[in-house]
Amino acid sequence: MIEMTPGASDVLLVIDVQNDFCTGGNLAVPGGEEVVPLINQLGQKFDNVVITQDWHPQGHSSFASSHEGLEPFTEITMSYGAQTLWPDHCIQASNGAELHERLDLPHAAMIVRKGYRKEIDSYSAFFENDHKTPTGLTGYLRERGFERVYCVGLALDFCVRFSAVDAANLGFKSVVLEEACRAIDMMGSLDAARKDMADSGVMAG
């Protein structure tokens, strides 16, 4: 168990702990559901919790099925840059998009849904993949006076990474609690994520 005593200016950011990212899901992260008990325990320590939820429409542009002849995990170039093509996942109102049934954070004050624009993916809790279109989370955290963001969830090398780096770049103290994360780890993505986070000033908790 991670030992800490969060303060009033700390927030726990729980990223994409959804059925499709857990065992049996369409884009399962190895051991994804293993983070749930630890996140529940962490949640009891934090007065302030925000949850993110991937929320894609049918036929989203990041789905391999939207690109004839291309397989999942192919990387292509979109108008906003490099984009990995994924299996269909976290489709709005589907069971796969639901938060894991054992996630127990009743005091979470906000759920940020991302990736709902058909033409652009969204890894970060703060911006879509053009790194310009905001989700609104930044304003919420600043208006509430939060200063430090603790990131947990799925997947460490994608949505957790981009969220933690953006938090640091936006001037928040950014911490990733790796024990409460799991990674996809494809083609060196985990090592790249750790380097990117360290270079951006993200702290490991």
Q: Which residues are catalytic?
A: 16, 114, 159
Contact predicate 122/60, CB 8 Å: no
Please tell me whether residue 196 adopts helix, strand or coil conformation.
helix
d(CA 24, CA 6): 34
d(CA 74, CA 92): 23
Backbone angles phi, psi at 172, to 5 degrees: -85, 150
d(CA 21, CA 89): 8
Task: Give the gyration radius of the chain's Cα atoms.
Answer: 16
Please tell me what DSSP assigns to residue 60: -
- Residue 145, both tokens: 């006076």
Contact predicate 176/151, CB 8 Å: yes
- Residue 121, both tokens: 């993916």
Please tell me what DSSP assigns to residue 160: I
Please tell me what DSSP assigns to residue 45: H
